[in-house]
Amino acid sequence: MSRLASKPIPFESAVTIEIGNDKVRVKGPKGELSVPLHAGVDVSTEPGQIWVKRQEERYRAAQGLIWSLIRNAVTGVTQGFSQKLEIVGKGWRSQVKGNVVNLQVGHSHPVNFELPEGITASQENPGSFTLHSHDKQLLGQVCANIQKLRPVEPYKLKGIRLEGQYLRQKVRKTAGV
């Protein structure tokens, strides 16, 4: 655990926090999230901040995990998260229609990827689109599922990738001596 978990998590007045026996519910202008609690971690609130304390030293890792999950929930219900995906390949493109992303990525047919509840998409150009959500974990999982449809191949780097993702290009095989 980093030492961040020993600091409080600040939150705005628009956010309401409900602490139960086994979970923390965070409500805000963008939605509602719940974070499961660990048995060795105690959560308390003061006006404008949340404290995460461990009962014993052996729960240090759980304290850091719960602190990060609650911080992500607070950020998600106030600001939200977004992730841009790029499609690289000749003739490959995407189109967003409501909660369905239509992908033409080299298959014999277009692939219609239906977005789960809590995820919205916006289109910038045919080669990229952005996913928005208040749930960081759900957003990451949906991005990974979309990337599985056409993973980036290592020689020409064609495929679906996250914006700014570092990829190393392999050198092609050279002719024999």
Q: Tell me the pLDDT tens digit for each residue of 76-88.
A: 999 999 999 999 9
* pLDDT digits 0-9 by tens, 10-33: 999 999 999 998 999 999 999 999
pTM of the predicted model over 0.75:
yes
Angle between the N-to-C axes of helices 60-78 and 136-149, in degrees from 0 to 180, rounded to the nearest 10: 80
pLDDT recorded at residue 173: 85
pLDDT recorded at residue 35: 96
Tokens coding 153: 């191949």
**Residue whose C-alpha is closest to residue 161's, from 171, 153, 173, 169:** 153
Report CA-CA distances (Å) from 84 to 33, 56, 99, 163. Answer: 23, 41, 16, 6
Domain 3-78 CATH class label: alpha beta
Task: Return the SS3 of 64.
Answer: helix
Domain 81-162 belongs to what architecture? Answer: Alpha-Beta Complex (3.90)
Give residue limits of the domains in the chain.
Answer: 3-78, 81-162
Mean pLDDT on 110-125: 95
Residues 6+ apart with CB under 8 A from 29: 14, 77, 78
* pLDDT digits 0-9 by tens, 123-168: 989 999 999 999 999 999 999 999 999 999 999 999 999 999 999 9
